[in-house]
Structure 1
Amino acid sequence: MSLYQKIFKNYWNPYIAISIAGLVSALYFGITGTVWAVTGEFTRFGGHILEWFGVDVGDWAYFGLVGLEGTPITRTDGWIVIGMLVGAAITILLSNSFKIRMPKQKRRLVQGFIGGIIAGFGARLALGCNLAAFFTGVPQFSFHAWIFMVTTAIGTFFGVKVVNTKWWLGKPTLMKGPLKPVKPKAKSEKVQPIIGLIVALIYLALILYFFAVGKTMLGVACIAGALFGILIERGQICFTSAFRDMWISGRAMMSKAIAVGMLISVVVTFFYIQSGSLALIKVAAPSTAIGGILFGFGIVLAGGCETGMMYRAMEGQLLYWAVFAGNIIGATALAYGWDHLGIYSALVEGWPKVNLIEEWGPMGALFGTIAMLVAWFLISSWWEKRFRYGSGIKLQKSERLTHVTKEA
C-alpha cells in the first residue's frame, strides 16, 4: 500500500488522530494563550449578520463578554474556523471523496436545522461546545468542563430516545427497480486531488504572508486550524458518536480515544500553566448543566457535533450546512437572551469560576484530572464489554425463555 493511499485514501486510527489533536491544542494554547474553540466565532458571525441588516448589537452583554471587534479574517478564532474548513476540504479533495449529497428524506434537513439551533444555543449557554467546554476545558483544569461532559452525555441519551421514535424516523424511502451498476470514476472526479493541491498551496501562501507582514498569531491560527481540520476529517472525529454510540451499540472507541487525547493535552497544558500561562476558567453554574443537556440533545438530533458537522459539510453533505446555519442562529439567540431575557441573572450570576489547580493544588489537580480521565477510559471499556457480552447474553436468555414459553 502506497504512502498516499495510507494518508489520503484510508481513514486514520482515531487514537492517533485525536492524540495529535490534543497535543496541537495544548501547543496552540501555549503559543497564543487561547484555546481551540469554534462556537464563540459562530456567535460573533451571527452578530455581524445582524449588523449587516442594521441591527445594533453593540449593547448586547454577551458580545461584551466574547468580543465583537474586527471580522473573522482579523481574529485568531476566525482563522481557526476557516482553517478547519480548509484543512478538511484539502484532505477530502486529495482523497477524491467530495460529493454533493442530499439526504434521502428531505425532513432530515429540517431536523438537522432544529438540532443545530438547540446545540448552538446550549453550547453558548455553557460558554463553549465540545471543544472549549470539554476537550480544551478539561486540560485548563476548569471544573465547568466536567459538569458539561456529564450533562452532555445525559442530553445525548434523551436525544437517542427521540431519534429512534417512528415519528422522527418517518417512512423509509424505498427504491424501485434494479440496483444501478457501479459506474467508473468520471474524469471530473480525477480533478479533485489537483484542486486539493491548489487549495493547499494557496493556503500555504496565505500563512507565509501573515508571517511576512508580522501577523504571527494569525499565521499560527491558520496552521492550527488547518491541522485540526485535517485531523478531525482523517480521524472522523465526532463527539456525537462518542456518546451516541455508547447508548445505541455500546461502541466506545471514540469515547476512549477522546479520553487519551485529553490526557495528553492535560499534561502539556499543565506545564504551560505552571510556566506562567493563564488558565482559562469558565463559570460552573446551572447554565453549564442546562447548556450541556441541550447541547447533547441537539447534536444527536442534528446528527453531528461542531467538529463532525464541519468536515461533513465540506464533504458535500447538504444536511450539515443546515446544521451549520442552525448553530449560528441558536448561538445568536442565546446572545440576545443573555441579558434581554434575563438568562444571565437567572442561571449564571453569582456562581463561581472553579479552578481545580487552586482548589486541589498543582499536583493534586494534575493527578486528579489524570485519574478521572483514566476512570472515564476504564468505564467506557467496561460499558463496551457490558454491551457486547453482558446485554447480549441477557438478550439471548430472554429470547430462549420466550421460545420455551411458546412451545409449552
Structure 2
Amino acid sequence: MTWQHFKQAYLIKFWAPAPAVIAAGILSTYYFGITGTFWAVTGEFTRWGGQLLQLAGVHAEEWGYYKLIHLDGTPLTRIDGMMIIGMFGGCFAAALWANNVKLRMPRSRVRILQAIIGGAIAGFGARLAMGCNLAAFFTGIPQFSLHAWFFAVATAIGSWFGARFTLLPLFRIPVKMQKVSAASPLTQKPDQARRRFRLGMLVFIGIVGWGLFTAIDKPKLGLAMLFGVGFGLLIERAQICFTSAFRDMWITGRTHMAKAIIFGMAASAIGIFGYVQLGAEAKIMWAGPNAVIGGLLFGFGIVLAGGCETGWMYRAVEGQVHFWWVGIGNVIGSTILAYYWDDISPALATNWDKVNLLNTFGPTGGLLVTYLLLFAALMLIIGWEKHFFKRKNQSAVVTAKETA
C-alpha cells in the first residue's frame, strides 16, 4: 500500500461508524484498565466551571458536588483534563488532515439560543445522572452499573421529545432564494489541502510528543493524553455523535450509528469484565430518580442543542461556531447542577442504592444480563427501523393513490 493510498483511505476519508465505535469501546476498556479511571468528559467540564467561579471569588470548593468530584489541581494535573486536551488535539489533527476546518457561523440567532439552552439542559442532566453519553454508554453500561441503563432508556425517550420539539415551526430557518447564472466553482483547493495536512501532522506529532514527554515523569497523565488523542481521532474521522444516533432514528429511521453504539458497548463489556475480575474497581453510581430525570433532560438537551459531548467537541474544532456555544452551555448547565446538588441529591440520588449487576446476579450472571439487555436494545432498534420504513412506505402509497 502506497503512502498516498493510505493517506486518502484512512486519514482523509471518513471512517465507517461501526468499526470506529467498536474501536472506541475497546480503547475505553484499556483506558480504564491502565489508568484506573473512566472515559468521561462532563465531570471535567464541571470542574472548569467551578474553577472559573473561583477566579471570580466564589468558594465553589465548599460545594458538596465539588467535594465529591474533587476540584484540586488544574486540567494539566488531572487525568481527565489531560485526556480532554488530547481529545481536542486528536480532533483538530484529524480535521486538518481532511481539510475539514472552516469557520462556520450559526445561521440564525435561534440556533445560538438552541445551542446555549440545549447545552445547558444536557450539561445539567448529565451531571445529575452522574454520566453523559460517554460516562453512561461507554462507561456505566459496560461497567455493569444499573443506573446507566436507567439513564440510557431515559435518554432515548428524552431525545424523542427533543426531536419532536425541534420540528416546530419556531426552529425552521427561512431559506433565501438567489438567482445565479452559473454553477459555483469547486471550493476544494489542492494547495490549501496539502498545507492543512502538513499542519495536521505537526499538531498530531506535537500532541503525541507532549503526551510521551509527560509520561516520563507522570505516566498516568501522559497516557491519558495519548488515549485522548486516540479518542479524538476516532470521533472526528467517524463523526461519532450520539445526538445524530438518536435524532436520526426518530426522524429519518436511520439506525447505523445507534447499532454501532450497541456493538461498541458489547466490545467494551467483556474487557471491563476481565479487568474487574482482576481487581479493578468499576464505576457504580446511584440507581435513583436522578438517573431517569437526568437522562430525560440530557436526551432532550442534546437534540435541542444539536450535539452531545463527543459531537460538539469535534465539530467545535472543525470551526462550527454553533458548537462553541453548545460547549459553553454545557459548562453552564453542569455548574448550575453543582450549585443545587446539596439540596436535591438526598431525595434524587445519594439515598438510593448503587446497584452493580455483577454483585446482584453474580459475575457470570451479571455479564449475561448485560449482553441480554444489549441484545434486547439491538432488537428494539431493528424493530423500530422496520416499523418506521413500513409506515413511511404505506404513507407514500396512500399519497400516490390520493393524487392519482
Match of 1:185 in 2: 189
* Cα separation, 2, equivalents of 1:330 and 1:114: 9
Greater CA drift, 39-48 or 98-107: 98-107
Aligned pair in 2 of structure 1 residues 392, 282: CA closer, same or farther (>3 Å)? same
Match of 2:277 in 1: 274
Residues 1:202 and 2:206 aligned together: yes
* Cα separation, 2, equivalents of 1:318 and 1:173: 21
Pairwise mapping of residues 3-402 of structure 1 onto structure 2 (< 5 A)?
Answer: 3-178=6-181, 180-183=184-187, 185=189, 187-213=191-217, 215-339=218-342, 342-388=343-389, 390-400=390-400, 402=402
* Cα separation, 1, equivalents of 2:350 and 2:152: 21
Residue 186 of structure 1, CA deviation: 6.9
* Cα separation, 2, equivalents of 1:175 and 1:355: 59
Structure 2 counterpart of 1:159, which letter? Answer: G
* Cα separation, 1, equivalents of 2:10 and 2:52: 38
Residue 147 of structure 1, CA deviation: 0.4
* Cα separation, 1, equivalents of 2:304 and 2:96: 28
Structure 2 unaligned residues grouped into runs of 5+ = none
* Cα separation, 2, equivalents of 1:273 and 1:183: 51
Residue 247 of structure 1, CA deviation: 0.6
Task: Check conservation: 2:43, 2:127, Cα contact below 8 A.
Answer: yes
* Length, aligned pairs only: 400
Residue 109 of structure 1, CA deviation: 1.6
Structure 2 counterpart of 1:391, which letter? Answer: R
* Cα separation, 1, equivalents of 2:327 and 2:90: 17
Structure 2 counterpart of 1:8, which letter? Answer: L
Residue 173 of structure 1, CA deviation: 4.0
Task: Check conservation: 1:207, 1:223, Cα contact below 8 A.
Answer: yes
Residue 242 of structure 1, CA deviation: 1.2
Residue 313 of structure 1, CA deviation: 0.4
Structure 2 counterpart of 1:102, which letter? Answer: M
Greater CA drift, 202-211 or 58-67: 202-211
Residue 167 of structure 1, CA deviation: 1.1
SS at 1:2 equivalent: helix
So what's the TM-score if we normalise by structure 2?
Answer: 0.95
* Cα separation, 1, equivalents of 2:112 and 2:176: 15
Identity of aligned residues (%): 48
So what's the TM-score if we normalise by structure 1?
Answer: 0.95
SS at 2:283 equivalent: coil
SS at 1:136 equivalent: helix
**Cα-to-partner distance string for 1:346-400 (whole Å, 9 max, x where unaligned):** 3223111011011111111111111111221222122222222x11232134325
SS at 1:103 equivalent: coil
Residue 99 of structure 1, CA deviation: 0.6
Structure 2 counterpart of 1:398, which letter? Answer: V
- Cα RMSD of the aligned pairs, angstroms, is 1.5
Structure 1 counterpart of 2:398, which letter? Answer: S
Structure 1 unaligned residues grouped into runs of 5+ = none
Structure 1 counterpart of 2:348, which letter? Answer: L
Structure 2 counterpart of 1:321, which letter? Answer: W
Task: Check conservation: 1:115, 1:326, Cα contact below 8 A.
Answer: yes
Greater CA drift, 222-231 or 368-377: 368-377
SS at 2:311 equivalent: helix
* Cα separation, 2, equivalents of 1:206 and 1:266: 31
**Cα-to-partner distance string for 1:247-293 (whole Å, 9 max, x where unaligned):** 10111110110000100100000010011111110001111101000
* Cα separation, 1, equivalents of 2:148 and 2:176: 40
* Cα separation, 1, equivalents of 2:222 and 2:96: 23
Greater CA drift, 98-107 or 17-26: 98-107
SS at 1:58 equivalent: helix
Structure 1 counterpart of 2:97, which letter? Answer: L
* Cα separation, 2, equivalents of 1:221 and 1:379: 35
Structure 1 counterpart of 2:265, which letter? Answer: M
Structure 1 counterpart of 2:184, which letter? Answer: K
SS at 2:350 equivalent: coil
Task: Check conservation: 1:35, 1:132, Cα contact below 8 A.
Answer: yes
Structure 1 counterpart of 2:94, which letter? Answer: T
